[in-house]
Every structure is written in C-alpha cells, then in structure tokens.
Amino acid sequence: MNVYFLKEHDFNSFMSKMIESKKVIGPVAKKSKFVFDKLESPEQLRLDYDVTILPPKKEFFPTCQKLVCFDGNKFEGCINPQEKILFGVHFYDVKAIDMTDHLFSEKNQDWNYLANRKATTIVASNIQKVSGRAFFASVGKEVGPKGHDAFITKINGGYVFEAITDKGEAIVKFGKFEKASDSQKSEAQSANESMLGKCPEKLKYSSSEIADKVRKNFTNEKLWEEAAHDCFSCGSCNVVCPTCYCFDVQDDWNLDQKTGTRSRYWDACLTEDFSKVSLGGGHAENFRESRGDRFRHRIMRKATYLNEKLGGPACVGCGRCSSACTADIADPVNVINKIMEAK
C-alpha cells in the first residue's frame, strides 16, 4: 500500500481532473442535509458532511433496477454497469457495503449488484463531523472496514491518501501527490481515531452479549409490542439503512402485452404488506401481522440473525434510522440497551 500526501491547494485541481475523466459520485449538500450525487465541480464536494440521507449502496443497488427485458418467450439481462468513482464514503458505510457484497454473493451470485459493484472504485474518507444519532464506535467493533480502494484523510495543510488497491492507485495520476511523511501518516491516524470518541450515542454491551440477550427475548411479546406501540409501519428505518437489502420484483408490461421489463424495487420489512403472501382465490396470509412482530424481526436481523455470516451485527451505527423515524422509536441503541437491561 502506498501512502501519499496532497497539498490543500492542489485538491480542487485533483478533483477537477478526476471529474473530467470519470463519473464521480460524492457527498453534496441538499438543503440542510447531504446526499451522494454526481459531482459536476470540486466545489460541490462536501467532505465535512455528517451523514447522507440515503446510504451509498444505492450506487450498486438502486432504489429501482431493471433486471430483465422480455419479448414473448425471449429475454435478456439488463446489466449495464457504468464505471464510476464513489468518493468520500465514511468507514461505517464501507463496512455496510462489504456486508452487502457478502450477502449478494454468498449463494446465488446477484450479477445485477455485483456488476455495478465491480465497476466502482471506492474512496473512503475520514469523518470530519459526527451526526447527531451516530454510535459507530460502539457497534460491531470486531468487524473493520474493508473492500474500499483508497482512504483519504484531511489533516493540517492537505490530505493523506492511502492507495489500497490498483483501482485506488490509478486515481493518484489525477493529482500532484507526493510521498506522505511518517508524521503526516500519524496525524491521519489520530484524526481517524479521535472521531471514535465523539459519537453521541453508545451501546453498552459487546456484540455477542447483545446477540444472546436479544435472541432470548424473541418470545417476550410484551417487550416487542411496547417497543413498536407508536410505529406507523412506514418502513423509513429500513429504507435509509445501509445494511438492509430486501427487494420486491415486479413485471412491467408494454401496451403490446408481449414486451416488457422485470424490475426490482427496495422493500421494507416494517411495512404491513412485506410479509403478506397470496393463498390464491383472493385470500392472503400475513405471517408478521402485528407491528411488534415486524419490529422484532428488524432488531433480530440487525443484532442476531446475521452475526455468524457477517462476523458481527448487521448494523454499523450510522444513526440514519433514528433520524428517519417520525415516532423516534427505531434507534437501535435505545431498543437494545432497554432489552439488555430487561430481566
């Protein structure tokens, strides 16, 4: 791994050259919040963002994605990945992308996701400002960020750029990079470590303690019904989550009733219809009918069910769900700490 330094006054020309030659997606301001969007100029890039509304997984797993085009009995895949650089991803989102990579490739490989993922270079960046509901320092500490191609850290007078893969190294040609000194590297390390102490929220227990206790409370109906009492079943907590990956598949037919497309759309397990299945003859069965059942399912997925596959919980502590929940009941820290303190 090569570690470089880029002077502050050379940063915009580096970004300009990169934007001229590649599609670059980065955090930009949207009113008082931030989103990942295509950069048209370096001035749009906001590496001082706290958290984005939607996670960067939308670049590989869009909210709506065409899977197959069909014409009578003939069909072909709609995979058409666009090369891009995803610039300025915080480490918790890098962890989430790595989890999604695993989940979309473990059994039946999901080529629609993986083709987009392969065409993307990920440049992670240090967190300059911590969001109001974040707890990334106290969740899943046993799993580190991986799968990114480079990491850029703002320090005094410029940026330390670690090129981790060949794709990360290929970016260096766009800027006037020089070799980073030992003191610049250690300043970058301190900048990243110091942010861990600034999370406003904290889980008080280890991942394995949480996984055990949450699972033991599966049958504690009262706990789940109380936790979900104010839930609107809106699914916002799912939609903003970087580790949620459920989708619904729909066929859209053209007027000729012969051609069309099959697409997938993000789905949300907190919504009432998610677990409704047809029994035929106009009948249906909902196997998670109550709000408590659905709320429990989400917390079980985040804290317990996936731990073995992922090496830790399926939550990276971004705090997006806490901010997105109108009823303010989705915060995993509050829910889990309450479960841990229950008898």
Write down the least CB distance from residue 268 to ligand SF4, Å.
7
Q: Note whether 94 binds ligand SF4 by CB under 6 A.
A: no
Q: Which of 56, 158, 242, 312 binds ligand SF4 (CB under 6 A)?
A: 242
Rounded Cα gap, residues 339 and 203, in angstroms: 12
89 binds ligand SF4 (CB under 6 A): no
Strand 178-179 relative to strand 158-163: parallel, antiparallel, unpaired? unpaired
- Identify which of residues 82 and 326 has a Cβ nearer to ligand SF4 in the complex: 326
Spell out, one character per residue from 252 to 281, where the chain touches ligand SF4: x when CB under 6 A holds, - when not.
Answer: ------------------x-----------
Q: Per rule CB under 6 A, is residue 339 in the interface with ligand SF4? A: no
Helix (H) or strand (E) holding 178: strand 178-179
Binding flag, residue 321, ligand SF4 (CB under 6 A): yes
- By the 8 A CB rule, do 47 and 27 touch? yes
Interface residue with ligand SF4 among 27, 168, 235, 292 (CB under 6 A) is 235
Comparing CA positions, the residue from 327, 326, 325, 330 lying closest to residue 315 is 330
Of 27 and 235, CB closest to ligand SF4: 235
Q: How far is the CB of 90 from ligand SF4 (least distance, A)?
A: 11
Tell me: does residue 19 bind ligand SF4 (CB under 6 A).
Answer: no
190 — alpha (psi -120 to 50), left (phi > 0) or beta?
alpha
278-317 positions binding ligand SF4, by CB under 6 A? 302, 315-317
Identify the CA nearest to 48 among candidates 119, 132, 151, 125: 125
Structure token pair of residue 248: 């619904």
Q: Does 325 bind ligand SF4 (CB under 6 A)?
A: yes
As a whole number of angstroms, the distance between CA 164 and CA 179 comes to 14
Q: What is the CA radius of gyration of the chain?
A: 22
Query: Binding residues for ligand SF4, per CB under 6 A?
Result: 231-237, 240-243, 270, 302, 315-321, 324-327, 329-330, 332
